[in-house]
Amino acid sequence: MIAVIADDFTGAAEIAGLGLRYGLKVEIESFVYTDSDADLLIIATDTRSLNEEEAYNEVLSITKQLKKVNCNWIYKKTDSVFRGHIYKELKAMLEGHDYTKSLLVPANPSLGRKIKDSIYYIDNQYLHETNFSEDPDFVLITSDVVKLIRPEEGKPVSVVKPDQAISNRGITIGEADTENDLKKWASKINNEILPAGGAGFFAALLEAQGYVENQLTAVNDYDFGENLLFVCGSAFSKGKAVFVNGTDCESKIFPLPDEVFYNMPSKQSSFENWKANIINAFEKSDYAIVEIDQPVVRDKKFSKRLRVEMARLVDDVMKKVKINELLIDGGATVYSIAEKTGINKFFPVQELAPGVVRMKIENRDDLFVTIKPGSYPWPDKLLDLPCKKN
């Protein structure tokens, strides 16, 4: 078994999609269940929404639990653009397992995300000058990869090129400019080194162990259920702009009310009206689109409150309407919804596009959940579904 600890749900789904593509039996859990028979077991956490010490403690606990599972190797999935508590979580895994050092390769050259001379670039632009600098939870003010992981004082972090050696102890960040660089790093991993980073590095590790990539499954190769609920919860989601492929779609879009967004005294009555309108929409149609259509607020408590409100909405709607397809963008939003609705186990069945994964739910044959990172696009054919369903 291969085990992965991801710092958010969309990162977990991205790895799950790769597992499917490489022929593995995949399972995503929000807790460690020691009886899993998966080839690839992914633990989806929400540590990116926690503070550093909370994230450290949670990852340390999960790592110790995974030592009791028969894992061939463990991977730490981190955000490819350095959001989250990367240093603290790697430290927790090094202290909770038998590894002496870690190799972190977050770059993903196939998406234009590269590390050269200790600097992170996206499509040849400095990371901190891209729209990722607008993340409400992790403000990026530098593109220096050592500064981005925020190491503890006196704890050096090395940055090395693919033809250089990994440091004997601690954390090494591997530069990567091409797909071949990822393969070079993958060839250097042994049982003393904790591999960590993005999806590209994980794919290179699978190939280094002899796994063969299969083609993606086309969206139209699966029959989607009758009632679809789209939830656009990410700060990077384009919201309704990506869905309005036909005039009918606009009437099925339900933005978060201003009263709820700004936590005004009238928020509860506005919330109830919002919910009622969505429920009523399913009496005439078989889909609805929920979105946050307000400006990004750089405040973790503010963001968390919005995710809680969105999760409460989805839970309430699903108690009144039989939703067959729940499609969500934004890892923290997915985690909040899963927590609120009591969903703990996901069984990925289809990778619709890189990072976009459709999953069955434990003990629910009538519900599929499809999730993606907020910064990734929905597949065009999936976006066409709402406007064709009438």
d(CA 328, CA 279): 18
Q: Does domain 2-208 have CATH number 3.40.50.300?
A: no
pLDDT tens string 262-272? 999 999 999 99
- pLDDT > 70 fraction of the chain, expressed in percent and rounded: 92
Question: So what's the pLDDT on residue 69?
Answer: 85
When pLDDT is cut at 50, 70 and 90, the band that residue 248 belongs to is low
Q: Report which residue type is found at 354.
A: P
Question: So what's the pLDDT on residue 242?
Answer: 54
CATH tag for 219-388 (out of 3.40.605.10, 3.40.980.20, 3.40.50.720, 3.40.309.10): 3.40.980.20
Question: So what's the pLDDT on residue 332?
Answer: 86
Whose CA is closest to 148, among 178, 104, 183, 179?
Answer: 104
Percentages (nearest 5) of helix, strand, coil residues in the chain:
40, 25, 40
Location of each CATH 3.40.980.20 domain in the chain: 219-388
Q: Report which residue type is found at 183.
A: K
pTM of the model: 0.90
Question: So what's the pLDDT on residue 241?
Answer: 46
Question: So what's the pLDDT on residue 268?
Answer: 97
CB contact set of 264 (below 8 Å; sequence gap of 6+): 258, 270
The stretch 16-34 carries a mean pLDDT of 91
**What torsion, rounded to 10 degrees, do the Cα atoms 33, 53, 92, 335 define?**
40
Question: So what's the pLDDT on residue 13?
Answer: 93
- DSSP 3-state assignment of 253? strand
The stretch 328-353 carries a mean pLDDT of 90
* H or E element, residue 312: helix 300-320
Location of each CATH 3.40.50.10840 domain in the chain: 2-208
Question: So what's the pLDDT on residue 15?
Answer: 96
